Structure 1
C-alpha cells in the first residue's frame, strides 16, 4: 500500500463527463444520465484498499440517507487490473453486492476519468452542485483504519450545505488512502 493524499481539484471546476461500464448492471452509463439536479457525489474507490474497507459500511449508510434526499452517488474504480486483478470488474460486481452499494460502481479501464478528475487516492470524494461545479473535494471524515469509527461528517456537512442552498465551507481537508494503481 502506498499512501497518497487527494490533489484537491479547484472548487468551481465543471465535472468532466464520462461514459463507463456499470459493473452492477453490465451497462454503460454517463455522468450526464446519472447526475442529480441537487448534488452529485463522485467517489473513486477500489476493492482492496483498507481505507475503503474502513468506510464502506458508513459510506453505504450515508449514500442511502442522501440519495433519499435526491443526491446521486457514483463510485468509480480506476486501478490497473493487470497488476491488481482483485480490482477487476467481475470482482467489483461481487463487492458491490456484498457491501450493498446503493449506487453505480463504474470501471474506468483507460484511467482517463481518474486523470480528468485529478483523483489520486482511494477513497477520493468529489461533490458537484446543481450546476455540476465542484463544491467539495476531499475526505469522508478524519478517521483512518485502526483510528476511529467513520462518521462521514466532512462529506455530510458539504451535502447538508448544498441541500440547504448554502455555500459549502471552503476549508476542506484532502482525502487520504491508497494511491490509484496507475498503468505503466
Structure 2
C-alpha cells in the first residue's frame, strides 16, 4: 500500500507557551492566544511548533505498518479504566486510538470537544481510546500527576495515562501534542498523525483524517491516507 504523506509547512514565530500558560487552569493558553496579533491569530489553526528537539536515544518512529509498542502506565482518570492500563488493555475488538496529549497545549485545549467525540465514536464501534501525557512535569507543572487528575475529573471519558519517564513517547517516536496513532485489533499501527487540519479552531476544519481512517479500518479497507503531519505543541522532553 502506498502511503499518502501529507506535509504541512511549520510556521515561523511560534511563541513559547512556557512563559504564559497558567498551571492552575486550562484557560491559560487560551487567553494567551488572544494576545497574538490579529493576522497571526487568524492563521493560528495552521501553525505548527518548530520541529521538536528529540532525545538522542529516540527510537525509529513508529509508522503505519509497524507494531505498536506495548506499555503499562498509571491512569490519572479514576473514573475511567483501571489504575494501570496497558496497550493491550486499550485495544478493543476492532482496534483503538492512542493519543499523546497534555494539559496546557492550546492545540489540545482547542480540540477537547472533538477529541471527546472521537473517543465516543471509538467506544461505540468496539474500539479503545486512551490519552498519554509524556511532558516533563518539572518544567511544565500544569502537566504534573496532580494536575492530570484534576483535568481528568472535569468530564474526561477515557483513561489518561502518565508517561513519567517518557519511555513510551520515545518508543513511539511521538513528536507533538496532540498526536494520534490508530491501531488495528492485531496491534498494527494503521494511521498516524492529526485528528483534523485545524485543532485550535473548529470553524476552520476542512478534513477529518482520523475519523476517516477509523471508518476505513472498521470497513476492513486499506487506509487511504495513513500518514499526516501532526499539528500541535512539541513534546516537552526532560533533556
TM-score (norm 2): 0.71
SS at match of 2:232: strand
In structure 2, the residue matched to 1:175 is 230
Asked if structure 1 preserves the Cα contact closer than 8 Å seen for 2:108 and 2:199, the reply is: no
Cα RMSD (Å): 2.1
1:12-55 CA-partner distances (Å, limit 9, x unpaired): 11010001010012812211223212111000000000000011
1:104 maps to which of 153, 159, 163: 159
In structure 1, the residue matched to 2:42 is none
SS at match of 2:215: helix
In structure 2, the residue matched to 1:14 is 67
Deviation at 1:68, TM superposition (A): 1.2
Q: Does structure 1 residue 158 correspond to structure 2 residue 213?
A: yes
Distance 2:207 2:112 in 1: 10
In structure 2, the residue matched to 1:52 is 108
Asked if structure 2 preserves the Cα contact closer than 8 Å seen for 1:80 and 1:182, the reply is: yes
Distance 2:124 2:229 in 1: 27
In structure 2, the residue matched to 1:136 is 191
Greater strand proportion = 1
SS at match of 1:176: coil
Pick 1 or 2: higher relative contact order, CA cutoff 8 A, min separation 6: 1
Computing the radius of gyration from Cα coordinates, the structure with the larger value is: 2
In structure 1, the residue matched to 2:117 is 61
2:181 maps to which of 126, 130, 134: 126
Asked if structure 2 preserves the Cα contact closer than 8 Å seen for 1:58 and 1:150, the reply is: no
SS at match of 1:127: strand
TM-score (norm 1): 0.91
Segments of structure 1 that go 5 or more residues without pairing to the other structure are none
Aligned length: 183
Q: Aligned pair in 2 of structure 1 residues 175, 16: CA closer, same or farther (>3 Å)? A: same
1:41 maps to which of 97, 103, 121: 97
Deviation at 1:163, TM superposition (A): 0.7
Asked if structure 2 preserves the Cα contact closer than 8 Å seen for 1:5 and 1:174, the reply is: no
